[in-house]
Chains A and B, each alone.
Chain A
Amino acid sequence: MPENVVETRNLTKVYRDFWGRKKKTALNALDLTIHKGEIFGLLGPNGSGKTTTIKLLLGLLFPSSGEGFVFGEPAAKVEKNERIGYLPEESYLYRFLNAEETLDFYGRLFDIPPEVRRSRAAELIDVVGLNADKKRILREYSKGMRQRIGLAQALINDPDLIILDEPTSGLDPLGTRWMKDLILDLKKKGKTILMCSHRLDDVQDVCDRIAILYNGDMQEQGAVEKLVEDQKRLQIQASGLELTDAVKAELSAVIERHGGKVEAFGHPTTTLEDLFLRIIEESKARPGRRYLPPAETAAK
């Protein structure tokens, strides 16, 4: 039986106006369980209740009814935050601090002894690749750099549960890949990760399980592979041959003989992200590389 890190029972949040009149049900009777060591994704359009769920679990909001537990403790208990790292959607950090001061500030909030705080801050600044900019104040940082330092502050306490709200927001493809690799790396270290994102490909790439929310209600929950698998269709991949009409006809005959129907033949495509990363890697390896029009390429 896997250990539950996060558990909600009938968790509901209703926003009310000053007079107590109901304005909106942001979250409706959410039952959710996140196990230790998994990457869990919360999906949904804007206003579906993803961020509300996270804020309820962090104690930034109080539930209207129901209960939320983190590490078995009620979500309202401050002490549970000792083991949580949180990266908000926007990097809401103090922009007059530099990277070192930022990590020192958040380290102090965890009561980390000074020597540990200093060494961990230096290590994290290195991990997020901000060594060269660690003395610059955050106001001068790009959005991606702020997201990186935001992640560093979320990891300053070496947390067991990391909550990431739109972690790849504002990152370029390189940064996105770096973030996804880091998330997978954290999973390998036994951390539990709860993330929510609009970028479905990111979620699909890293998450073990997901829940889909819409209008405050949970619509679907389960393992990513199971949920995306299309049981009614079949895919065959082959290599070492050319797709001629004869090959097509022969394959169609076999499939039709077994009661199936060919929908399309073609070459598999890579993802745009993979293409982009390959080109960047090649550019790094060959500094003179540049785009040439097809005619020029043919002439060469």
Chain B
Amino acid sequence: MPDLTPLFGLLIVDRDPFTFADLPGLVQAWLMDAGGYAFLGLLVYLLYALRAPADSSTKARIRVSAFMLAAAATAMICYAVYLFLLLNNIGVDQLALLKLQAFDPTGYNKYTPPAVSWSGQPLALSLGGLFALVGIGAPFFAAMAHLVRRMASTGRAPTGTPSLGGTFALLLGLWVVISVAAWGVLRVLPTAREWVGVGAVLAYVLTAAWAAYRCRLWDRMGAVFAVAKLSVLDVIRSRVFLALLVLLLPALFPITWFLPFKAEDELRLTVGMTTGLTQVVLLLMAAALASFAIPNDVKNQNIYTVLTKPVQPFDVVLGRFIGYTALATVALGMMTAGSWLLIEASTISPKAMEETFKARVPIRGKLRYESRTGEIVGTDVGREFNYRKYIAGHPSSSQRAIWSFGGLPSSLQRATDAAVPVEFTFDIYRLTKGVENRGVDVNIRVVSWRCPQKPPALKGEGAWQWGDPAQAARYDDRAKELLFAADQEREPKERRFASKQAIANPKALLSRARPGSPEWEVANKLAAEFGFYEIVSREVFDYHPTTVLVPAGLFANAVATVDADGQPLPGPIGPDGKPLPVPPPQQVLVYVKCETSSQMLGMAEGDLYLLEAEQSFGQNYFKSAVGLWCRLVILIGLSVVCSTYLVGVVSFLAAGFLFVAGYFGQYITELAMGKSTTGGGPVKAFSQLAQAKLPTAPDEGTAGVQAAALADNVFAWLIRRVVNLFPDVSAYDWTPYLAEGFNVSFENLAMNLIVTAGYLLPWLILGFYLIRSREVAA
């Protein structure tokens, strides 16, 4: 029997992490955004190259290939097509949706990742961006290909070293073997997913390291490795690590010595302190080292002796980038391992252990609100943080918060003790004081798609009805029958019911059932048969996480295609009347109702979820470090690229500005779009200020107002372009997940790596051009 003490989870999911499903949309947005900058860069480069004197020295430095010209011409055609479509209003531009919007004080702006659009305008923009990126990136990619070719050549490695290609093929083979083995183990031991995942990742990394050693990768990397090693030696011998250790001294003293805290918050505080300290120390160190390295080389003229060797200038940039990234990786690994050991070794309060010393694997659903009158938006009770919406509480209220879940894993049907936990944390907004020390009662109805519910027809009726009333009656009969049968199994003196009819409220009886009890078996059987389970009443407290258990049979019902007798069951029908495959997208629905009068129950999409599994805190701790690693790589990349043109201090400030602005990217976008504040954009706001009008005053529709709106739209467009220069820093922040005890999935981490690569690539191309065009001895 599972521990039924409440499982806590206070995570605020104000944006969903990127998943592989977001990849196509992100790629298209990247092509449009990065491609736009690439096109500008390509035009500037071509104009410069074509006007520069064509003597042999210049030709050797500034090459304009036919391919580059062709790519530029094609990109130009694509952008011309886009302009034509835009002017003729053909093919909706998804970016147009982002133009200045009316401020909605009740709306919560949850981040939504870009979606793929096949309309004419975005397609033209994407293609234009693609060709521009290929055109401007051609010399960069050629340099990278040259580097790889040189690495593959046998001259660099010691005699007799296995070839690069052969080793790479061997590594791929090993990775296939590891993947197949992991898959095989998972088939046999599906519950060991966590350790199989960790083991597979370790095996990938170790085999990669072995392959690098086998073909002497560092020797093959030539100048790039030489500069990378130089960077590492520089840091070690300049004793930067000592400074790092001094900065980390506070981590030795538990944060709980200095701050008052509630027992259950102990781990949250410790995690926040260790990850925060690691983050600040490493980010500052990485930015400072990477910003000053190349400018110092130029200032001290060390670079003279490097660039007078057969070294491409970008090899120095790449070497510095790789060197500092390696250093940051080692430092992060050490600090993560150290702080994890610190947490493991310290005595944490049992309450905190219970709440957060774990890694829940939640299955999240989509939230909507409905009432007798149809879909509603939920009530805004006037809280500044309008993350949650509220439903009115009353026995006769028809308002429901409805979570729908789709794509559920089959493991739920085989859950331990046939019980699937559903966790939730609600906010209570009290219109009256209520009863002292008493929470509010909620009713939770969990149904599969086979048991549709419909709102009451009459005003004043609170209970939602079954779509098929006859089925509801059958459910009651069957419940009584099974409960009575189960009761008869007991010793005569323990029997509670004289007859089937004596069971007055079978639903209430079943909702109090505990896994392992005969009642739970009945509940599970009924859930498998009817796809219905109801927790008639459960007391919840303000922001106090609660768990209820749902019979696993309900999830089996959602995917069943035949009944207990082997007869085929009817399948789902779509809105267009056509049959849908089993299970349909809305596989399981959870209806939440507030039963207590004069109380409002607030909830957001992330507040209720199905708990698929629990993994260990330790592996989650290390996984969450991947997000910080991505941020470090981004900051090092930005710093190194800025330092190819700027002096150390300015480079440090520029990279720091770009990085820090990333924390406010979404807010800046919302501000530019008019989503975050009332009064429109800056021009409209200025005009209102000049005319001493209230921001909420209605527009008059005059030419001036229209001109201001147009100017604000242009401003919003420009700001959105500028925001693209900032890294999406919040996408890498896993600390709340770790602190609240939620698992960080490998899929999310893989997306972190992809997004990091996508962000850095255009910057590296810029760095390539900047260092190549720089006279280091000037």
Contact = CB atoms under 8 A, between A and B. Distances in A.
Nearest to B221: A108
Contacts of B561: none
Interface string B302-338: 1011111111100000000000000000000000000
Contacts of A109: 222-223, 226, 306, 309-311
Interface in A77-103: 77-79, 81-82, 84, 86, 88, 90, 92-94, 96-97, 101
B234 A62 contact: no
Contact of A106 (B229, B233, B301, B305): B305
B57 A67 contact: yes
A67 B56 contact: yes
Given A65-B55, A74-B56, A113 B311 contact: no
A58 B304 CA distance: 9
A60 B226 contact: no
B775 A105 contact: no
B613 interface: no
Contact of B234 (A68, A84, A94, A153): A94
Contacts of B56: 67, 69, 74, 76
Contacts of B778: 15, 61
Contacts of B307: 58-60
A55 interface: yes
Please indicate which of the listed interface residues B150, B222, B225, B304 has the most CB atoms of chain A within 10 Å of its own CB: B304
Interface residues of A, number: 44
A115 interface: yes
A137 B237 CA distance: 10
A61 B308 contact: no
Contacts of B308: 58-60, 81, 84, 86
Contacts of B226: 105, 108-109
B359 interface: no
A114 B218 CA distance: 11
B215 to A, nearest CB: 13
A113 B158 contact: yes
Interface stretch (B29-37, B58-66, B478-486): B58-66
A47 interface: no
B697 interface: no
Contacts of A150: 305
Given A66-B55, A67-B55, A96-B233, A78 B777 contact: no
Interface in B213-269: 219, 222-223, 225-226, 229-230, 233-234, 237-238
A61 B301 contact: no
Given A76-B57, A111-B156, A90 B301 contact: yes
Contacts of B55: 63, 65-67
B658 interface: no
A76 B157 contact: no
A110 interface: yes
A75 interface: yes
Contacts of A15: 778
Contacts of A153: 305
Interface in B53-84: 53, 55-61
B714 to A, nearest CB: 30
B324 to A, nearest CB: 16
Nearest to A153: B305
Contact of A113 (B58, B156, B305): B156
Nearest to B234: A96
B652 to A, nearest CB: 21
Interface in A112-157: 113-115, 137, 150, 153, 157
Nearest to B224: A108
B157 A88 contact: no
B155 interface: yes
Please indicate which of the listed interface residues A55, A58, A78 has the most CB atoms of chain B within 10 Å of its own CB: A78
Nearest to A66: B55
Contacts of A111: 150, 155-156, 222-223, 310
A93 B219 CA distance: 21
Nearest to B56: A74
A88 to B, nearest CB: 5
A163 to B, nearest CB: 8
A94 B57 CA distance: 30
B300 A92 contact: yes
Q: Which 3 A-B pairs have the closest CB atoms?
A: A108-B226, A60-B777, A109-B309
6 contacts: A59-B308, A60-B776, A62-B58, A62-B61, A76-B57, A110-B309
Given A61-B778, A76-B60, 9 more contacts: A58-B304, A58-B308, A60-B775, A67-B55, A76-B61, A78-B310, A97-B233, A101-B233, A108-B222
Interface of A: 15, 55, 58-63, 65-69, 74-79, 81-82, 84, 86, 88, 90, 92-94, 96-97, 101, 105-106, 108-111, 113-115, 137, 150, 153, 157
